[in-house]
Amino acid sequence: MANIILTSRCNLSCEYCFAHELTESDTRDIKMDDFLEILDFAGADGEIGLIGGEPLLHKQINDFISILNGRYDVHRVLLFTNGIFLDRLDMRLLLPKTSVLVNVNSSECIGKTAYEKMKNNIRALLDFLPKSRVTLGINIYKENQNFDDLVSLIRELGVKRVRVSVVIPKDKSEGAFSYFARMKKTLLSLAKTLGKLGVCPAYDCNAIPECVYTKKEKELLASLPYENEFEKKIFMGEASVCAPIVDIYPDKSAARCFGMSEYKVKIDDFKNINDLKNHFFMEIDTRLVHKKSKDACLDCYKNKVFGCFGGCLCYKNN
């Protein structure tokens, strides 16, 4: 997938946000001509993500979705949103290719008014899209985090899939394994709840490595109702998926991902999206993948065969 950043503006200022640097220092929206040029460059990837900031703040969001649905080379469009401005969408344009991932923030985090608006918008969205095309997302950013609002949403809306991510902190001095060991209790609490609700969990990138869990904790994770065996392996830390996604900015610069956003290049210097992904893989992945996250990683078979990255590569990028 290649992500196109439609705007760096956001209507929220979440304390855990990994994109604060972008949203606070840059307020540009993408221009239509640049969007079309980026799409010609990235469309061959087949999957396009629309991200921000908050992409629904862009006044031409409906035009972008309409264009993407009309492209023969794009077979899937994924819209990332906090859901508060979903009512700005012409829902009819979402078909046939668009799926939506709503990042759920609690009412404590964003306020009751914004939370209720998000909830009502998701309900309206489900009138147009099947539940398989709407995913709720949750960011685990603090110990003993309260998930009552997420659980309430799941029960009320009947959504069957939740994307889970343990947020990478801005301060990485603690180290990946120490941080994950501290956060896993909160993740396991959520996992247990999802299991009781019959909800399929799906992990985002930077999955907690398998060696962080005890045998009993692995048994809990193994009991969850995963969508498929691959997602089960990812969630349990038995396998890792970490490859250049590519985030393309309004100025036509690009980064491997948000975690590596300090290293940007211009897409004009590359033939196409695959050429750019290969560049990031050679310049970043091959340099960092075998660097140890802790001493035990040196002798770990999974580390040697790209089966585990010891947490996000950004921890190794000194």
On the 0-12 / 13-18 / 19+ scale of CB atoms within 10 A, 61 is buried
Binned at pLDDT 50, 70 and 90, residue 318 comes out as low
232-262 per-position pLDDT tens digit: 999 998 887 788 999 999 999 999 998 888 8
- How many other C-beta atoms are found inside a 10 Å radius of the C-beta of residue 162? 23
pLDDT at 23 over 60: no
- Domains of the chain by start residue, with CATH: 2-316 (3.20.20.70)
Average pLDDT over residues 172-193: 92
pTM: 0.93
Look up residue 209 and give its DSSP letter. Answer: P
Parallel, antiparallel, or unpaired for β 134-140 and 200-203?
unpaired
149-179 per-position pLDDT tens digit: 999 999 999 988 999 999 988 888 888 889 9
Find the farthest-apart pair of alpha carbons in the chain and give their distance in angstroms, rounded.
54
